[in-house]
Structure 1
Amino acid sequence: MARPAVIAHRGYAAIAPENTVIAAERAAERDETAMIEIDVRPAACGTPVVVHDERLDGTRDGWPLTDAAGLVRATSLEELRETRVLGTDATIPTLSDLFAAVPETVGVNVELKNPGRADLRVGEALSEDERDRRRDAWRPFVERVIDDCEAFGGEVLFSSFCEGAIAALRDVTARYAAAPLLRDDPEAGLEIARRYDCEAIHPPRTAIGDAGVDGTGIVESAHEEGRTVNAWTATTWVQFERLAAAGVDGVIVDFPGVTGTGTRRTPGK
């Protein structure tokens, strides 16, 4: 049985300043890294930038996330490019800058976090009317993200907790693989995957092995439908091995080295 592909969470956030060019470069240098997972949201001008949190003044283990404050979507691109991450010299990159730093032998999982709005519908399967509204709200930002992807020759896999983001992606292009990020309701997540013919699903590690999706585990259900399963987020080798034993196709990890035999296959295929 093939080992799960290793997906570097924010560029191995446990050992490098997350979502930065230096993190991506270091992650790409490791043979085990099949794909690098990053988060994107817009600067004030709409340019896609790579940062997880809505605000610049968040923390990680009590440490300031950046040396700035305020909403990312209200901050100029110039200021964001000078904003230092986690007390290092690394700054918040544009999506274009990050793609330029990643070799085409390593894939990129782009998580669509926010289109520049406060009113998100995270983790919900939406009604038809609401799907249309949310798709239209996401589309301008998704178009900007897609434009940045065009220059990258490697594999790109999109994911999101927001159905509107996946709807907008499918409306703009069928070129890239997509995956709903699942939370507490695996069946709702699988329904979103079916609705947009998504190539993959991304459930939380704690959902793997649970019954309840048509009487089976979520991995089996997804595989029966021809979808790959990339689980998030493993922080130990024990967690990784349990996910591997459950048959997942990829594991999003904070640390490199949780497995000694990772392979560079495509997590979205």
Structure 2
Amino acid sequence: MPSPAVIAHRGYAGVAPENTVTAAARAAERDETAMIEIDVQPAACGTPVVVHDERLEGDRDGRPLTDATGFVWETPLETLRETRVLGTDATVPTLAELLAAVPETIGVNVELKNPGTRDLRAGESLPSDERDERREVWQAFVERVVADCAGFNGDLLFSSFCEGAIAALRETADYAAAPLLRDDLAAGLEIARRYDCEAIHPPRTAISGTDRVEMAEIGGSDTEPDIDVVTAAHDEGRAVNVWTVTNWVQFDALAAAGVDGIIADYPGLGEGSSDRVQRSN
């Protein structure tokens, strides 16, 4: 059984300051890394920057997210480029700066996180009379993102929790796309069909046969999903890339379930996975 492709979540956020040039460069040096996943939002001037949370204050596992405050999209680019991430010397990069640090042999999964609004409409399959409006919310930002990606010669995959972002991408450029799924698996699959997406990105706890007890512990259902998203996606010719894995036990379970890619916080989780899965079977 082939091992799934490894996608470095925010540049392996478990071992490096997430979404920074430092993280991306280190992740790209590892032979196992097929793709690096990053999050993009606009600075106050509209320039795409690589950062996950919509606000700059807060904490991640006891460390301050950054040494700045406020919404990302209200913060001047000059300030963001000097803003330190998670108590390190690494700073918030522009999308163009991060892509310049990634060799073309490594793909990049660009998650369209936020176009600069608190009204995201994430995780919804939109009614037909609202799709154009939500696409327009994203259009200008997506165009800026695509323009910054033009000089990158590696593989690009765009993902988002928001249908408006996927619609704007389809209006702008011919790149691979994937809806991010959360609670409503049917809605995510419908969005994938509506825009003929090349992949879907469900959470690992949505995959049939994985640990339902763990799902209950984080506030989800302890029952088996009513949709087999791996089979549904594969029957329609779509890849399944699952988020977010933190240990080799999770990696092996997802590999056995037949997913195509695993978005991982740590490197090395897939080493020996094929042999472990074969022995367990």
TM-score with structure 2 setting the length: 0.90
The residue type paired with residue 6 of structure 2 is: V
Between 1 and 2, higher relative CO (CA 8 Å, sep ≥ 6) is seen in 1
2:199 maps to 1:200: yes
2:178 maps to 1:179: yes
Aligned partner of 1:212 among 226, 230, 244:
226
Partner of 2:126: 126
Classify the secondary structure of the residue corresponding to 2:159: strand
Contact 1:33 1:262 in 2 (8 A): no
1:1-269 equivalence runs, <5 A:
1-174=1-174, 176-209=175-208, 210-213=224-227, 217-260=228-271
Gap runs ≥5 in structure 2: 209-223, 275-281
Classify the secondary structure of the residue corresponding to 1:135: helix
Shift of 1:119: 1.1
TM-superposition CA deviations, 1:55-105 (whole Å, max 9, x none): 000210121010111110000000000000011110000000000000000
TM-superposition CA deviations, 1:139-194 (whole Å, max 9, x none): 000000000110000000000000000000001112x1000000011111000000
Shift of 1:262: 8.2
The residue type paired with residue 253 of structure 2 is: R
Shift of 1:117: 1.2
Q: Which runs of 4+ in 1 moved over 4 A?
A: none
Shift of 1:261: 5.3
TM-score with structure 1 setting the length: 0.94
TM-superposition CA deviations, 1:99-123 (whole Å, max 9, x none): 0000000000000011111211010
Classify the secondary structure of the residue corresponding to 1:6: strand
The residue type paired with residue 36 of structure 2 is: I
The residue type paired with residue 155 of structure 1 is: D
Contact 1:32 1:261 in 2 (8 A): no
Partner of 1:266: none
- Determine the C-alpha separation between the residues in 1 that align with 2:45 and 2:273: 39
Contact 1:204 1:231 in 2 (8 A): yes
The residue type paired with residue 263 of structure 2 is: I
Contact 2:5 2:34 in 1 (8 A): yes
Partner of 1:267: none
Shift of 1:259: 1.2
- Determine the C-alpha separation between the residues in 2 that align with 1:218 and 1:129: 27
Gap runs ≥5 in structure 1: 264-269
Contact 1:32 1:262 in 2 (8 A): no
Classify the secondary structure of the residue corresponding to 1:68: coil
Partner of 2:212: none
- Determine the C-alpha separation between the residues in 2 that align with 1:2 and 1:188: 29
Contact 2:7 2:36 in 1 (8 A): yes
Shift of 1:130: 1.1
Classify the secondary structure of the residue corresponding to 2:118: coil
- Determine the C-alpha separation between the residues in 1 that align with 2:80 and 2:272: 37
Alignment length, in residue pairs? 259
- Determine the C-alpha separation between the residues in 1 that align with 2:117 and 2:187: 23
